[in-house]
Amino acid sequence: MNFPKIVRGPESLQSGAWVRSYEFTKFMKNAGPFETNPHLAIAVSGGADSLALCLLALTWVRRRNGKITALIVDHGLRKESSLEAKQVAIWLDERNVHHKILRWLGKKPSTGVQAAAREARMGLMGNWCVRHNIMHLLTGHNMDDQVGTFLIRLLAGSGSDGLAGMPLVNDLILPIGGSVRQVRPLLSVQKGRLVETLKHNSQPWIDDPSNR
């Protein structure tokens, strides 16, 4: 069995490009309002984007006497996926972050695997939020993702609506009933800054080849 490819950055940086807590507070203000003592769900894959989001959200929510639950999806598409989920859980335990591993069970499609995996992840996390009365699900989409989405839609011949890109906030309607607000607070942040944020916090991350 292959083990997760764990990336570790230097503990000290020269660039100082990490995302500050006051910046993240502005991002969250733009995505609000949020309830008093908020309980946020965070999609955490173990990659640099989602782990950086988790660390930033943890500081934000603790200052508001709230809490977060990190949702880790074991998609089962690669042999090492369960090991990756367990590794992420270990890192979250070290930072006293409550977490839940959700597993995508059943037969996987032979074509359109990545699209099916994205839909399954959002379905698993959204349903979990509805069942636990959590209003907000934060995901680590960033500026690089936004640019990539625009280019893919442009090449596909999308109209003006499609070229608008990903919204900061949108409502996910779930098959089980109910909805959850998907919040993407990092859309204005380059991925490189999220990597620097992890380095600044001495937090390793997992390099998932499927993300490329």
pTM summary value: 0.87
**What is the per-residue pLDDT for 180?**
96
**What is the per-residue pLDDT for 1?**
47
CB-CB neighbours of 212 under 10 Å: 5
36-40, 118-122, 137-141, 181-185, range with the lowest pLDDT: 118-122
* Location of structure tokens 């998609």: 75
Over range 112-134, report the average pLDDT: 91
**What is the per-residue pLDDT for 106?**
82
**What is the per-residue pLDDT for 112?**
82
Can you name the residues that pair with 101 across neighbouring β-strands? 72
Which of 181, 184, 190 shows the shortest CA–CA distance to 165? Answer: 184
Confidence band of 166 (pLDDT split at 50, 70, 90):
confident
